[in-house]
Structure 1
Amino acid sequence: PGPPFCSRSCRPRFSFGGTLGPTCQSGRACHLARRVLWTGLPTVSAGDRDRLELPLSLAEFSEALRLMPTNKSPGMDGLTVEFYRVFWDVLGPDLVTVWAESLLSGVLPLSCRRAVLALLPKKGDLRDLRNWRPLSLLSTDYKVVAKAISLRLGSVLADVVHPDQTYTVPGRSIFNNLYLVRDLLELGRRDGLSFALLSLDQEKAFDRMDHGYLLGTLRAFGFGPQFVSFLRVLYADAECLVRLNWALTEPVSFGRGVRQGCPLSGQLYALAIEPFLCLLRRRMAGLALRKPEMRLVLSAYADDVLLVVQDPEDLVRVEACQAVYSAASSARVNWVKSSGLVVGDGWQTSSLPPALQAIRWSAGPLLYLGV
């Protein structure tokens, strides 16, 4: 028998501030914000678009299964990666058929749509549900399909995601971000520059992502209708059951967010936040370097966005860009948890916009990417 279910009274406690439920990102403000964000984005080439539109094959599923890590917790059915590898000759062709039928019906089988949501503690008061990280334990068949799509997506990600975003993009590393900040601080000290580094804290970044915004962003990047439908089917009518004290809640609809535990989640988030980063690059002055045409605006690793501000007016632009992004995607920045580092003596934090006055500014160390 499976694990027992929690009482119905448990269910409202697992909204994570409303991040699991559906959103209503609509109306004129949302439409205008999305139009601003989606204008002028880079697009995949025509050849790559056509290649991504092809049906997923058994060979791609086989390669996805081969690359998946072992000794991982399975989904509700209890079937592990190791099990699938042993019986792949039997299960592989069936999975191809199930996926083809799911595309026709627009929805995955219930066993694929459902995930067990495990709660991992973060820092802070653990009596506050916001200090727990939700991790989706997904069925292996779902992850094989998602991994196959991820392998396709990874081949074009660098073409549409700017080099200053390093998360999940093949050939890029978190060390690029760290080395950049190190060199930037050394440059400021050596040349006597005055500027500020602003680290934005996106509140529950992965969990708040609006699905309509995400799919629209994929289309804006030039992905074709068939590839977009792959992602739509993966998230259509998705549900989760929260694991609590070895029991499970009743099913909760997964109306927004990208599932942390899905092989695609990181790539989808990198694509979803990229229009916001593009807007910042267009509107911020950033830090002028030695050559007039060279400037440094930001460094990003997933939702860890570090902005380089020399002109205080850039802070007003940051707030305006964030407002556009929030209206379009339901994202939300936590200004109180955001922090800033002042470099040099000529940069002042006075006369900031009201929201940005809550930022913790200092001349001391700045924690960035855990360092």
Structure 2
Amino acid sequence: MDRGSRFFYALEKRRGAKKHVTCLLAEDGTPLTDPAEMCQRARAFYATLFSPDPTDPNACRVLWDGLPTVSTGDRDRLELPLTLAEFSEALRHMPTNKSPGLDGLTVEFYRVFWDVLGPDLVTVWAEALQSGVLPLSCRRAVLALLPKRGDLRDLRNWRPVSLLSTDYKIVAKAISMRLGSVLADVVHPDQTYTVPGRTIFDNLYLVRDLLELGCRDGLSFALLSLDQEKAFDRMDHGYLLGTLRAFGFGPLFVGFLQVLYASAECLVRLNWTLTEPVSFGRGVRQGCPLSGQLYTLAIEPFLCLLRKRLTGLVLRELGLRLVLSAYADDVLLVVQDPGDLARVEACQAVYSAASSARVNWVKSSGLVV
């Protein structure tokens, strides 16, 4: 083990200082510096963010129409009960040296005592499926705030990450490993996030090749980057579960996810002080092994709608039509027909009505080639 040094302690001090909040802006823009008032503001902000808004069933039907579905064999396989062997495999693949949940029990702890704890976790999960809800210790998370760019007095410029208990993450990881085996069957190749065999380099290479092609052949087009505001945190649970059903996932598998999110809540951590609980009524929990895959599935109907309605860039010599490239919520659109701009706005309106998503047009950007 490396010996502690002045450099090491200074580095840790600087890292901690970045996460220390000295001032927050109230909803009306008033600066708050009192610790109690800042905690109240943080709790109120996330209580509002995680509260569901009404969604439009007609918009959902538009998005769900004609989606690809998993095969009957995969659907049946995903419906099987989770086993001790799957939990063991999930634990083996989980990273170590990660922050635990409220109980303080780490991945390393579970690995040491797995012979004792593993069978008990199978029993707890079976009882949760019967009751429809996990024990409070599993469904309650600590919400840690990580700084992003911008004015850090504004809570919108912090990324909320859920510190979940390891037993919850083992179950979620086991489900995630099942889900990963079928993602490529229902998610279009131009979305690369969390899909096995695809990487962000696929997106980068596409943009590079497009720019090179435009310069070489004198093509005129534009690249439009959409910025989804609080993308993971605004996702409506009803829309998410309905999307899974539209992709052909069976009732038992969808039920697994319903149990994981039923009566979920979090305590916001601000300068090591925990707020009162906040209900997690919408959003996918950043920090959950399943969150990325669930978001990929949730945004895919929107991307399908864009592929249907936009002209994109037609490369006749290659027999290709390029419409978009996506990595999670980072969606890059290829626009040649000016009419596509209005179509993008119309598609976004449908997606927002169905899922509570919200595009930030101010932060969205474009590049004319």
Which whole-Å CA distance do the structure 2 matches of 1:101 and 1:216 have between them? 24
Cα offset, 1:21, TM superposition:
2.9
User: Is residue 2:134 matched to residue 1:105?
Assistant: no
Change (3 A) 1:59 1:17: closer
**2:279 corresponds to which of 240, 246, 253:** 253
Change (3 A) 1:150 1:41: same
**1:83 corresponds to which of 106, 109, 121:** 109
Contact kept, 8 Å, 1:15 with 1:21, in 2: the verdict is: no
**1:284 corresponds to which of 300, 310, 313:** 310
Contact kept, 8 Å, 1:11 with 1:252, in 2: the verdict is: no
Which whole-Å CA distance do the structure 2 matches of 1:141 and 1:229 have between them? 18
Task: Give 1:9-24 correspondences, 5 Å limit.
Answer: 10-16=39-45, 20-24=49-53
Cα offset, 1:294, TM superposition:
1.9
Q: Secondary structure at the match of 1:199?
A: strand
Identity between Structure 1 and Structure 2 (%):
85
CA RMSD of aligned residues (A): 1.4
Q: Which has the higher helix share?
A: 2
- For structure 1, the residue ranges without an aligned partner over 5 or more in a row are 1-5, 344-371
Return the TM-score normalized by structure 1.
0.88
**1:19-72 Cα shifts (integer Å, max 9, x gaps):** 54321324xxx0110000000000000000000000000000000000000000
Aligned to 2:141: 115
Partner AA of 2:42 in structure 1:
R
Cα offset, 1:176, TM superposition:
0.3
Aligned to 2:335: 309
Which whole-Å CA distance do the structure 2 matches of 1:250 and 1:15 have between them? 10
- For structure 2, the residue ranges without an aligned partner over 5 or more in a row are 1-34
Task: Give 1:322-341 correspondences, 5 Å limit.
Answer: 322-341=348-367
Aligned to 2:242: 216
Aligned to 1:164: 190
Cα offset, 1:292, TM superposition:
7.7
**2:212 corresponds to which of 186, 193, 201:** 186
Partner AA of 2:288 in structure 1:
C
User: Is residue 2:170 matched to residue 1:144?
Assistant: yes
Aligned to 1:351: none
User: Is residue 2:258 matched to residue 1:229?
Assistant: no
Which whole-Å CA distance do the structure 2 matches of 1:155 and 1:201 have between them? 29
Q: Secondary structure at the match of 2:211?
A: helix
Partner AA of 2:39 in structure 1:
C
Q: Could you tell which deviates more after superposition, 221-230 or 287-296?
A: 287-296
Partner AA of 2:261 in structure 1:
Y
Partner AA of 1:204 in structure 2:
K
Change (3 A) 1:331 1:294: same
Which whole-Å CA distance do the structure 1 matches of 2:59 and 2:103 have between them? 41
Contact kept, 8 Å, 1:20 with 1:253, in 2: the verdict is: no
Cα offset, 1:8, TM superposition:
8.8
Contact kept, 8 Å, 1:114 with 1:238, in 2: the verdict is: yes
Partner AA of 1:14 in structure 2:
R
Aligned to 1:300: 326
